[in-house]
Structures are given as structure tokens and as C-alpha cells.
Amino acid sequence: MGMGQGSSAAAPSFSVTSLLQTNAYRRMGHCQPIYSSWTGLLLMLAAIIYVDDTDLLVRSKRRRLSDTEFFNQIQAAITCWGFIIMATGGHCKQAKCKVSVVSYGYKNGRAYIKPHRDLPQTALVIPQHNGPSLPIAHIPPDQACEALGTFVAADGNQRTQLDEMKKKGLSWADQLSSAHLPPADGFLSLNIHLKPRLCWNLVTVCESPKVVDKALSKVFFQALPYLRVNRNIRTEFRHLPVKYQGLGIFDVNVERLGLKIFWIQRYWGDSGLEGQLLLYSFEAFSIDLGLDGNPFQYSFERYGYLVESSSWWKDLWELLAHFGIRLDLDKTITFQPFLSCDGS
């Protein structure tokens, strides 16, 4: 819009422009309603927009839509959004545009995500101001792409994100090895340089605590000698607070659990979009689990297998079990037994 970076008018101008764009996109019929699994509450979510980063969320218009018809629906949505962007002074850059399609198949009564090779190989294109439309990359569901500093895959796997966190940690350890800092300055760098890099957007990471620890163990193994600490020190003493004679080094899993609990405290029961998404995802998680009441009162080791796919709530459940923490939710929302004497 011709405004310089840091302009005080940028935020309200973006709000007005993005609202106009999304409303036009919705009126063109490209926003499919989503109903929650238990209460059937309606959610209208067309896109996730942050300044010039936009994720269009295209959902099949009906259940028995073929993959070819779904690709046509996706192309219509992309074309509509591209024209809206151009009409409001924007432009879709080919190098930054990608699409990832999740289509489910069924085998022996179980759902699975179709591999990339089983999907139509039709090229999806974006409109341009001048010249023909340009094709954009089609990312397989198990391949992650970066969005706001976080690598996200359509099927939910976290391999790329953990690899990126490990890469950032090893880069910091290499810099530490050549900096020749005294231990006090090394620990200061650990807290003001390494911790923000590893904990950025950590609330979205959903992976087993053991897998996270294994992925980042090499970072601390390489860095500890340059902090004048034996690299073979036990993990418990590494993370133990200083007042208990530990090193006080942050634990990524503890930080992750704290951020998830804070997210619940902040948005649980809220009428905004974040609160709605929390409730919708919790209902889906509870239906998948199949147990009534507070799901976190059950043993993860015993019942965790009931939730097959990785999810935000399952990850929270595993973290709570890993650290032996009990989390109580509002009883007016969690699912209670239907019958007064139902002991299931």
C-alpha cells in the first residue's frame, strides 16, 4: 500500500484491507462451514492471514467429492483469491506460493492419507497481472514448508521442525566454541540467544518428549564443555534450578508444556477465534479418545493408543503424564456420562 515499514498506519490499514479481502472471498462461496464434533457449533474459517503470509483453507464441499473435483475446487479458490489480491493492489509471487493437499482413503476400515503419487497430477496455477497464469509447487502431505518461522507439514509430522531446531542449536554451539567466553557469559548467551531460537512458536510443536530430548541432546552435549561443565552430567542436574544446586538450563519440554497450559488459561472458554478452535479441537480429540469426563485423568500409558493420530491435545496429555502433572478442566464443558449410574 506504499507505507513504510514501522508506519503507525500499517496495522489498521492491513486490518481494513484483509477484512475486505476475506469478506469478498467468502461471498464468492469459498469458505466451507465447519461443525464441531460434539455440540455441532459452527465455525467459518476461510484463511489464516498475517501481513503478507496467507494460508487458504479449502475444505471439500461434500463428502463424496472425487480428488479431481477437489482439485478443481482448490484451483477455483486460488484463482478467486488471486484476483481479489490484484484488485486491492497486491500480487501473488510464484516462488512463495505452494499448495498441499490432504485426501483420505480407506483400507480395511481404517483411514489413511493418500500419498502424493495417488493424487491427480494436475498443475495448480496463480493468476498474474500481465501474462499467463503460473504453476505453483505441489508439496506432498509429509513434506513441511516454513510459515512464520515454523515448519509445518500437512499430515502433522514434526521431523523438519525438530531438525531445524537442532540445526539452530548446533550453530549456536559452534559459535560458542570459537567465542572463548567465560562461563558466566556463556550461560548468559544460552538464555538470551539459544533459548529464544529453540522456543520460538514452541506451543505448536507436537512430538513425544523423548523424541524432542533425543533430537536436542547433541546440542547440549557439544556446548557443555565450553560452559566449563562435564558433558556427561546427568540430565536431571542439567535442568535442576540453581537453588537446588543444578545448572538451571532450560528444558524444552517444560517450556512447551508451560506454553500449552498458558494457551488454555488464556483462551479456554473465550468467544474469539482462538477459543473456538480450542473447543473444536478438544471435542474432536475427546470423540477420538472415546472416554468421558476430563481426558487427562486417565493414564496416557494405558489409553494413549486410543488416539491414533498426533494432535495438540494428545501431545499435551503425553507431556502431563511425562512430568506427572494433573490438569483439571471446566466440568461444564467436558463430556460426562449419559446415565447417572454409567460407570463406563
Tell me what pLDDT residue 339 has: 57
pLDDT given for residue 342 in this prediction: 56
Contact 212, 310 (CB under 8 A): no
pLDDT digit string (tens) for 267-294?
888 888 888 888 888 988 988 888 888 8
Q: Which residues of 333-343 are buried (b: 16+ CB within 10 A; e: fewer)?
A: ebbeeeeeeee
**pLDDT for 64-107, tens place per residue?**
888 899 999 999 999 999 999 888 888 888 888 899 988 888 88
Span 124-139, pLDDT tens digits: 999 988 888 899 988 8
pTM for the full predicted model: 0.84
Reported as a pLDDT band with limits 50, 70 and 90, residue 260 is very high
**Residue 190 to residues 16, 197, 259, Cα–Cα distance (Å):** 41, 10, 20
Domain ranges, ordered by start, for the chain: 10-141, 159-255
Grade residue 42 by pLDDT with cuts at 50, 70 and 90: confident
Tell me the pLDDT tens digit for each residue of 49-66: 777 788 888 888 888 888
251: left (phi over 0), alpha (psi -120 to 50) or beta: beta
**Bridge partner residues of 98 (DSSP):** 137
Q: Residue 332: CA atoms inside 13 Å, Cβ hemisphere, count? A: 2
What's the rounded mean pLDDT across residues 155-182? Answer: 91
CB neighbour list of residue 35: distance below 8 Å, 6 or more residues apart? 41, 42, 43
